[in-house]
């Protein structure tokens, strides 16, 4: 740096020291990021002046990050533009997972110089930001189109086909016919145009992100309007999604014309009323805490077969299968935890889930000269039961039968014992070991 340049900077520094923070702020508006004055501001004795420099650096960093993000979001469009495909449409839908209202799709063709700062997947944006971007997209886009499929047609087609239909109609509604379509998801809508499906496309393509904003805002506005017609459901708040408030209103008021009757939470409310016997059996199946208890309930249901309608029997069988799968998963998890606990305690595992003699034993282990037959009881919340309450006399008898069968197969010698290991899966795993829990 020359003497003249040094004198100039010192003079500039002296000038800055005599200026107020407000004056410096106004002056700095025209400075570039490389301007030497920023270094002077960073060394200024006043906190307010130094803060101006910090804020400016942060703003430039945000601008660079946004430029890099926008460049990343345009990677698919840039490839197509580079091949001479100038009219690229982005397509996305909103409302696919709702219980009420239409599914809405939007198609957007953006120019290469579109300036839409902050544009991203609509789910990541605030409602206010989406509204601002909605107007900017409409103003800058070469062409936009929005289409919807209402609840009755969703029930008729299914939600996937309804979403694809809305996408096709949105593409077909564009005033400028695109040369290529980028669509969010893994399934192409099947228009007559060249299409590329992008998983998470609303976070990977600027055109799809623009479409996601249009579809979301348009649908939200429809649901706010619907709130005036159906004020008991709170559509303006939850927009038709299955929030707790929506579910409570649905149970209280029943479905309205906007509800999708093929969706399970709505269909259950529309189903036929169940008999008192069905309700009792269903409660018993839900309350069963082991496969054995579940089987006991199944026997009761079998005895009442003639008194139950076929539809209720089918529903109970389906509930039985669902509960059995859940209990077996929990039971196996408990047995795995119990085995690890016993191994750490010095036991050797001889058998797992041993069956014989009309009974079953979860684990057979040995320590020193003693063979131990272990019943594992697993629960997803601590219930305070003692082992003898968890393993009743019927269960004990079956375990003893299996143990005698095991011994008769040639496993002789040494001492024998019956233990219970209790595994609680209530968020904080807890294993309790009860040696000699019962005797034959």
Q: Is 333 exposed, middle or buried (0-12, 13-18, 19+ CB in 10 A)?
A: middle
Structure tokens at 367: 């320590």
Give the integer Cα–Cα distance in Å for 435 and 440: 14
Residue 412 has pLDDT above 70, yes or no: no
pLDDT tens digits along 130-187: 999 999 999 999 999 999 999 999 999 999 999 999 999 999 999 999 999 999 988 8
CATH for 332-434 is 3.40.1350.10
Phi-psi category of residue 373: left, alpha or beta, with phi > 0 → left and psi -120 to 50 → alpha: beta
Average pLDDT, the chain: 85
pLDDT score of 382: 47
CA dist 42 and 36 (Å) reads: 11
Beta-carbon contacts of 228 under 8 Å, excluding residues fewer than 6 positions away, are: none
For residues 414 and 322, the model is more confident at 322
Alpha-carbon gap, residue 250 to 436, rounded angstroms = 53
pLDDT of residue 287: 74
Least confident of 123-127, 242-246, 308-312, 407-411: 407-411
Which pLDDT belongs to residue 383?
47
pLDDT tens for 18-39 read 888 888 888 888 888 888 888 8
What residues have CB less than 8 Å from 155, skipping those under 6 apart?
A: 260, 261, 262
The whole-angstrom distance between residue 131's C-alpha and the CA centroid of its chain comes to 25
What dotted CATH number matches 75-227? 3.30.420.10
Per-range mean pLDDT, top range of 161-170, 317-326, 351-360, 427-436:
161-170
Dump pLDDT digits (tens) for 178-216: 999 999 988 899 998 999 999 888 888 999 999 999 999
The confidence score (pLDDT) of residue 289 equals 67
- Take residue 184 and report the two structure tokens written for it: 């969010």
Name the DSSP letter for residue 203: G
244-281 pLDDT, tens digit per residue, is: 999 989 988 889 999 999 888 888 887 666 787 887 88
The rounded percent of the chain whose pLDDT value lies above 70 is 89
Q: What is the pLDDT of residues 362-386, one digit of tens each?
A: 999 999 888 999 998 877 554 444 4
pLDDT at residue 388 tops 60:
no
Q: Does the structure show a pLDDT above 50 at 328?
A: yes
Distance between CA atoms of residues 189 and 433, nearest Å: 58
Where does the pLDDT of residue 337 fall: very low under 50, low under 70, confident under 90, or very high at 90 and above?
Answer: confident
Domain boundaries, the chain: 3-69, 75-227, 276-329, 332-434
> What pTM does this model have?
0.53
Q: What is the pLDDT of residues 291-322, one digit of tens each?
A: 777 888 888 888 888 888 888 888 888 888 88
């Amino acid at each position: 740096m020359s003497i003249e340049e040094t004198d100039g900077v010192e003079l500039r520094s002296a000038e800055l020291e005599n200026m107020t923070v407000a004056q410096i702020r106004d002056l700095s508006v025209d400075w570039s990021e490389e301007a030497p004055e920023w270094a002077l501001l960073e060394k200024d004795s006043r906190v307010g002046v130094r803060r101006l420099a910090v804020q400016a650096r942060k703003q430039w960093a945000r601008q660079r990050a946004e430029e890099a993000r926008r460049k990343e979001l345009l990677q698919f469009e840039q490839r197509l533009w580079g091949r001479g495909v100038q009219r690229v449409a982005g397509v996305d839908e909103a409302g696919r997972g709702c219980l009420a209202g239409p599914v809405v799709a939007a198609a957007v063709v953006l120019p290469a110089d579109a300036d839409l700062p902050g544009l991203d997947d609509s789910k990541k944006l605030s409602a206010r930001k989406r509204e601002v971007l909605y107007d900017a997209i409409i103003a800058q886009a070469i062409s936009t189109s929005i289409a919807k499929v209402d609840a009755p047609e969703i029930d008729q087609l299914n939600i996937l086909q309804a979403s694809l239909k809305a996408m096709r109609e949105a593409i077909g509604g564009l005033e400028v016919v695109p040369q290529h379509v980028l669509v969010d998801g893994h399934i192409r809508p099947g228009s007559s145009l060249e299409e590329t499906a992008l998983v998470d496309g609303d976070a990977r393509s600027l055109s799809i992100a623009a479409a996601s904003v249009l579809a979301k805002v348009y649908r939200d506005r429809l649901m706010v309007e619907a709130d005036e017609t159906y004020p008991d459901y709170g559509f303006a708040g939850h927009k038709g999604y299955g929030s707790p408030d929506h579910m409570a209103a649905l149970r209280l008021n029943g479905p309205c014309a906007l509800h999708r009757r093929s969706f399970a939470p709505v269909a259950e409310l529309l189903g036929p009323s169940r008999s008192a016997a069905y309700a009792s059996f269903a409660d018993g199946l839900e309350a069963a805490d082991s496969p054995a208890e579940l089987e006991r309930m199944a026997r009761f249901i079998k005895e009442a077969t003639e008194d139950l309608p076929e539809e209720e029997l089918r529903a109970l069988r389906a509930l039985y299968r669902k509960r059995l799968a859940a209990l077996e998963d929990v039971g196996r998890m408990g047995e795995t935890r119990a085995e690890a606990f016993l191994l750490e305690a010095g036991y050797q595992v001889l058998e797992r889930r041993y069956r014989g003699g009309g009974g079953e034993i979860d684990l057979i282990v040995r320590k020193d000269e003693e063979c131990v037959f272990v019943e594992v009881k697993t629960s997803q919340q601590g219930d305070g039961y003692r082992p003898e309450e968890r393993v009743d006399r019927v269960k004990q008898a079956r375990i003893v039968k299996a143990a005698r069968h095991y011994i008769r197969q040639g496993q002789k010698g040494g001492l024998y014992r019956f233990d219970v290991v209790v595994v609680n899966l209530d968020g904080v795993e807890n294993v309790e070991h009860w040696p000699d829990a019962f005797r034959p």
